[in-house]
Structure 1
């Protein structure tokens, strides 16, 4: 029977759910010893949430190996996040056997990939008449229609949601005197000009001819505020849900991660800003465990080196409002479990336009008109004008004569244009490989059997951590007591009274193993006295006939499992 060929996906295309499903199973069919695909749960509307498990099963099952997790598209319209995960899957599959780094990675570790955590919201964004909500399609906090106000939607049927402008002497915007297509804010104290009122494209219900309020989406959930760590109610954090993991998509991820304690590091892909975000989201660097902060900064700097994306603190540099704290997020992986974790905000349209000196969130509140002109030039020259369509007349059913145009935020801000998508996501596999290859890896050092008498034996079993990171990965994991030291076990045959353990315990908890990462430079004031902190050994004394075979195992949640056997002779 001929094995199917490796799929050749299009990375300039956003896949609908059925297409994405077929693509994932095509990978599994083409590489059955490398890729398996399973549903980890159902979305609110009943769609499967797929996870691809990628490892060389010939070298052991996935659960015996240290694991790296990557997910994308938890937010509905952030579709490039799904592309980033699919791209990594393709790089792993096509690199295995030809790329030494990828081959060693999949021989010794496992990668869990969830391209789309939120299939319902993505399907809505990809619909024939798209809507760009934040997350899930479940109505929240109330299950009722708006009775008045403006509902944001594609009102003219061109498949885009742009802006509407209406001449109004009290409007807050005006045409830019350097390019009349561009709308810029009216200056403080300015009067006597031609001004406009701007609002999102959409339809109006019960319009009174004077007042317009833009309605919130009835689907008001933010799945990335529904995780257990530092979750807060709706009055403190919009979209948080009824309680932590109340939403099936979030519960599916949390349940999977908890069922796979081998996950030691993770990245969640979002859009947009062109930045790597590191923990924590709820505490300052000063409140973090120093050793963890140093490690996270080390990997973050590596991310900048390999991707070109700057790496910043969520707490210090990426707040939507200076007085707000973002809790209940996927940062739960570090805050509760002590796994290394990053959010990647893919794609920076301002950076693509040549704007280099900007501060992430602050830029969206206010920036010089020169930046808008650079973006408009980028739209004209690189996007055929589609990032900022020209204003065109439209007879609105409630407002009458308006113009529709301006920035296409869905297709050029939240996501890069099709021709730039692969270039953007191609930045990240090398960094993910490096993180995954740094995870702790338990390996057999030696076994020894020594006869103490005709039927009495001393058995020594030694293992070591071959990874750069310690077996616990972080100090926070130790503080949260979510990992144990190395667990050694000797497996005695049942119903064999001539075999007995006479020294030691059948299960022994050993130390937490260090990795081979240096604790300090060679010029440090004090030397590193823990020279072999990456090794552990256990001894047993057994009474058994000569020639008896005994199975031994050693395991650490995040460093994997060692299985071996000794013969007593």
Structure 2
């Protein structure tokens, strides 16, 4: 109080300064003269560098949320008007954010640059644009919660909330103190905790709801499963083997952003043969109908299919292999953010439908 920080004859007009960790990420990073708080270069701060190194060391991370202090928002990119996201990824972000808006009263799903302001070097930009992770920024406190009416309170309403519900938690009564330079001065008023932070007695519900939204987000990470399997005999020891890889979750096994910019490893489906058989050709089909044509993948290694776009959210893909021989073949589907599936199939006529599971909020434990 009452300090001339820069000897210009003016008191208390200087901000406290400092850096902003949410401007220090390698995603459209800009220098200080364009983006305040960015510091010298991306990852120059130990906090951002530590998180960045962890994520780079764990490419399986498929969901991220960054918690900030005030606004009542579920923010998603783009963070600048000159950037654009693939439509399929926008749909994924929007579906999850809209559910968050239902779970978090008075929170609004928003596009950063369009509904708020431009951000250079933001964390959710790095995690999505740089790593292909479905990401959000949650602004935790919102004054709309003060009287739970969904309205931004007026100045009088904020004062009423402070006086009736916070008492003297965030207000220091005005009183005289002796200043070393100015003598007797009057000190008091609201503290720095009077705005932009959740009142302590309201934290439990706010934290619980944000935790629940985080868990919903996590539960919608890709979960790959084998679907239908069909083996048909085409001729003397020639087999048409069709396997389905399904993803019942919202988030794809590889985001379109990752596929577009070759971020991380693409999904791979391998058909491992034995000494009694080999793969002649392979590709994808649109259905299990006998008349469906094989969309052949032009490759010198037909036993290996590169699935650059992964398995979409709430979607599946039918892969087909033409195998010559007898015995067994083993399939392995490997996704960086969706895990690994394996199954062994006998070369004999057979069909297995996709198992339909009804999702429950609390799974029934298996019978012992």
| TM norm structure 2 | 0.74
Task: Give the match for residue 336 of structure 1.
Answer: 130
Shift of 1:313: 2.2
Structure 1 residues 384, 213: CA separation in 2 closer, same or farther (over 3 Å shift)?
closer
Asked if structure 1 preserves the Cα contact closer than 8 Å seen for 2:25 and 2:43, the reply is yes
Structure 1 residue matching 2:209: 3-state secondary structure: coil
Shift of 1:510: 3.6
Structure 1 residues 291, 419: CA separation in 2 closer, same or farther (over 3 Å shift)?
same
- The partner residue of 2:163 within 359, 374, 380 is 380
2:6 maps to 1:212: no
Task: Give the match for residue 93 of structure 2.
Answer: 296
Gap regions ≥5 residues in structure 2: 282-300, 349-368
Alignment of 1:231-250 (within 5 A): 231-250=29-48
- The partner residue of 2:225 within 436, 439, 443 is 443
Asked if structure 1 preserves the Cα contact closer than 8 Å seen for 2:310 and 2:335, the reply is no
Shift of 1:257: 2.3
Task: Give the match for residue 404 of structure 1.
Answer: 187
Question: What is the distance in 2 between the residues matched to 1:381 and 1:502?
Answer: 76
Asked if structure 1 preserves the Cα contact closer than 8 Å seen for 2:280 and 2:323, the reply is yes
Question: What is the distance in 1 between the residues matched to 2:206 and 2:91?
Answer: 28
Shift of 1:500: 7.3
Task: Give the match for residue 89 of structure 1.
Answer: none
Structure 1 residues 465, 436: CA separation in 2 closer, same or farther (over 3 Å shift)?
farther
Structure 2 residue matching 1:335: 3-state secondary structure: helix
Shift of 1:240: 1.3
Asked if structure 1 preserves the Cα contact closer than 8 Å seen for 2:225 and 2:245, the reply is yes
Asked if structure 1 preserves the Cα contact closer than 8 Å seen for 2:132 and 2:255, the reply is yes
Task: Give the match for residue 108 of structure 1.
Answer: none
Question: What is the distance in 1 between the residues matched to 2:121 and 2:330?
Answer: 43
Structure 2 residue matching 1:297: 3-state secondary structure: helix
Shift of 1:556: 2.3
2:275 maps to 1:275: no
Structure 1 residues 568, 294: CA separation in 2 closer, same or farther (over 3 Å shift)?
closer
Question: What is the distance in 1 between the residues matched to 2:100 and 2:166?
Answer: 28
Question: What is the distance in 2 between the residues matched to 1:382 and 1:280?
Answer: 38
2:102 maps to 1:305: yes
Alignment of 1:15-414 (within 5 A): 201=1, 203=3, 210-212=9-11, 214-215=13-14, 217=16, 220-283=18-81, 287-308=84-105, 309-319=107-117, 325-330=118-123, 331-349=125-143, 351-353=145-147, 356-358=150-152, 371-409=154-192, 411-414=193-196
Question: What is the distance in 2 between the residues matched to 1:221 and 1:206?
Answer: 19
Asked if structure 2 preserves the Cα contact closer than 8 Å seen for 1:393 and 1:403, the reply is yes
Structure 2 residue matching 1:440: 3-state secondary structure: coil
Structure 1 residue matching 2:195: 3-state secondary structure: helix
Shift of 1:426: 1.6
Alignment of 1:526-541 (within 5 A): 534-539=316-321, 541=323
Question: What is the distance in 2 between the residues matched to 1:265 and 1:386?
Answer: 37
Question: What is the distance in 2 between the residues matched to 1:336 and 1:512?
Answer: 16
Structure 1 residues 490, 464: CA separation in 2 closer, same or farther (over 3 Å shift)?
closer
Shift of 1:487: 0.7
2:274 maps to 1:477: no
Which deviations, in whole Å up to 9, do the C-alpha atoms of 1:154-192 show, x marking residues without a partner? Answer: xxxxxxxxxxxxxxxxxxxxxxxxxxxxxxxxxxxxxxx
Question: What is the distance in 1 between the residues matched to 2:62 and 2:99?
Answer: 18
| Structure (1 or 2) with the greater strand fraction | 2
Shift of 1:327: 0.8
Shift of 1:344: 0.7
Task: Give the match for residue 561 of structure 1.
Answer: 340
| TM norm structure 1 | 0.50
Task: Give the match for residue 552 of structure 1.
Answer: 331
Asked if structure 1 preserves the Cα contact closer than 8 Å seen for 2:232 and 2:239, the reply is yes
